[in-house]
Amino acid sequence: MPRAAIRLLPRRQPNLHCYRYHSKPTSLTAQAGRVHRVLSAKADSNLTYDDLATCLGVTNTYAAQLLLGQAKLTPETAKKLRAALPAVSDDDLEDMQNSFPMRSYDDEILKEPHVYRTYEAITHYGEAMKAIINEQCGDGIMSAIDFYCDVGTSIGKHGEKRVVITFNGKFLPFIEQKAEDNGAMSPRD
């Protein structure tokens, strides 16, 4: 592109609204220590994730995410967690409420057989699931933010235990990107 065609955009002020949520930085080492302590408290309590989910009023998967540092603990749920796992320290409860979760994963987890088989099932059935979602809902995707996941078991017709995973995500339709609906200034203007 010729230099004359390059136009600099006006410098914008930073959006200070994104800083209204105060979070103290937590190192990965500190978070790993907290996760270890919280999981130890769960083990000492003899509660299952299903038990904990019932106490907290969340899905069993979300209960596990809270303890693993993958979801943010709300003040209301913190009170319930305090009652369910009294061995969790006040500092750890405070950190679970004030630190933003790390929602990524280590690539090494894909080598764990349960995780790999779930990943394999999603990739194997993914194209068929997409076709059915598109047929039933239209052109779009399932949200992984407005999303519930629950894990349980059932008994098969031969008496075998079977795993049941429910994904319940809001459908997000793709939109036609009309210029008149775009609230942001175009870099072409």
| SS3 assignment, position 107 | helix
DSSP 17: G
- Is the backbone of residue 136 left (phi > 0), alpha (psi -120 to 50) or beta? alpha
Q: Which of 99, 143, 162, 186 is catalytic?
A: 143
Exactly one of 82, 103, 117, 162 is catalytic; which is it?
117
Instruction: Look up 143 and say whether it is catalytic.
Output: yes
Q: Choose, from 120, 154, 180, 188, the residue flagged as catalytic.
A: 120
Name the DSSP letter for residue 187: T
Assess contact for 147 and 167: CB atoms under 8 A: yes
Catalytic (active site) residue 112: no
Q: Which of 67, 6, 73 is nearest to 41 (CA)?
A: 67
Q: Which residues are catalytic?
A: 117, 120, 143
